[in-house]
Homo-oligomer: A and B are copies of this chain.
Amino acid sequence: MATSTVENYLKHVLLLSEGAEDLIPMGALAEALAVVPGTVTTMVKALADAGLVEHRPRHGVRLTAGGRRVALSVLRKHRLVETFLVNVLKMDWAAVHAEAEQLEHAISDEVLDRLDALLGHPTTDPHGDPIPSRQGKLNSQIYPTLATCVLDKPLRIVRVTDQSAEFLQFAEQNGLQPGTGLRVADRNLVAGLVTLKRAGTRPLVVSLAAAGRILVEPAR
């Protein structure tokens, strides 16, 4: 069995390769794991020996098929646990990420399957992040964000791609959660500001950076 350190390394390589290049720079991984770069070099060499990643020295890491299998399983646990904590235990969606970070390494496949059934086999977690299937299939559809989408068309939020409690609290307070309908009334690239309009509320101005973390699809 992989230790929880190993599981974390693999999970973060997977998360970093979402959308982006498939060769992850060591520094990016070090930052994501909150360890110094030298530690990542050492660990990645060990993971490569174990056949879980491919290491291109001075360039970066990439998951092998085996490593990806492990990473997807951890991610599935993380996201199903988050869903359980919000849907069943009614916890705040801003708090569940930290909880799931621990539980994802302690939960067995048996428990996970039952949790999955209890929750009705959800396909996304409370933040809209896709839950990998039992077979390791991950829906990685590309959505526009509030920073890139069309103006003045009705939209629906599908995903909030920021795990920090502060951002999620901010989003919740302003009704910016998956399912919410809204439109982008204005976007000022120079000022770096986006103006959002939700039916029945006053316009909300957020930074371009924040808007870029909220994924949407055309409503209706």
Contact = CB atoms under 8 A, between A and B. Distances in A.
A89 B107 contact: no
A91 B110 contact: yes
Interface stretch (A12-20, A95-103, A126-134): A95-103
A110 B90 CA distance: 11
A21 B105 CA distance: 36
Interface in A77-126: 85, 88-91, 95, 99, 102-103, 105-108, 110-111, 114-115, 118
A107 to B, nearest CB: 7
A111 B85 contact: yes
Find the residue from A99, A108, A111 having the highest chain B CB count within 10 A.
Answer: A111
A36 B111 CA distance: 31
A99 B114 contact: no
A90 B89 CA distance: 17
A126 to B, nearest CB: 15
Contacts of A102: 106-108
A91 B111 contact: yes
Nearest to A103: B106
A89 B114 contact: yes
A90 B114 contact: yes
B115 A89 contact: yes
Interface of A: 85, 88-91, 95, 99, 102-103, 105-108, 110-111, 114-115, 118
Q: When A and B form their complex, which 4 residue pairs have the shortest distance between CB atoms, in order from nearest?
A: A106-B106, A89-B114, A102-B106, A103-B106
